Structure 1
């Protein structure tokens, strides 16, 4: 499975495509389970990039564990949570992430 991720151009925040918009958390990301869905997400990412909404648009590999989206690459897990050296910063410090 894959999801679409990027960085919001206005503030650099890591974002994921979810429900027709860019979300600041990974948990509601739209999943692509086949090539057609991947191509659809890529087209959405390209349009958002062209509209100067996001940069560094990528499809990333994920797995679903107990109903929760987990990126397979360490880089993407860090982007989804925040810095690895301070749990009081980043997305992991937000009350909704706990």
Structure 2
């Protein structure tokens, strides 16, 4: 199975091609087969997705599972607890550097 992924241009979120549009849920992915490159080019040219690429995946009783660990992490979310992640800078505090 081949599925198409990329990032949403407005939010940066990981998105997955559904066959008729984009979703933030990997389980809604459609098998793009041999048309993956064509779909990726069309969607990127229309500025609906940033950096689309095709990945190998499999479907089992648990749903769609990307073959590569990088894409599994992209599908399932952060690998650290959110309370341990960096906090955004507070723009109300004097001067700060990004």
The Cα of 1:87 is off from its aligned counterpart by: 6.8
Which runs of 4 or more aligned residues in structure 1 lie more than 3 Å from their structure 2 counterparts after TM superposition?
Answer: none
* Cα distance in structure 2, aligned partners of 1:14 and 1:8: 6
How many residues are treated as equivalent by the alignment? 83
Determine if the alignment matches structure 1 residue 22 to structure 2 residue 17.
Answer: no
Distance in 2 separating the partners of 1:5 and 1:47: 13
Structure with a larger share of its residues in strand:
1
1:45 deviation in Å? Answer: 1.3
Residue of structure 1 equivalent to 2:63: 68
In the alignment, what sits opposite 1:41?
A: 36
Unaligned runs of 5+ in 2: 84-98
User: How far apart are residue 68 of structure 1 and its match?
Assistant: 0.9
Give ranges in structure 1 of 5+ residues lacking alignment.
Answer: 89-98
Alignment check: 8 A CA contact 1:61 1:73 kept? yes
Is 1:55 matched with 2:50? yes
Q: Please say which structure displays the higher CA radius of gyration.
A: 2
TM-score w.r.t. structure 1 length? 0.76
Q: TM-score, normalized by length of structure 2?
A: 0.76
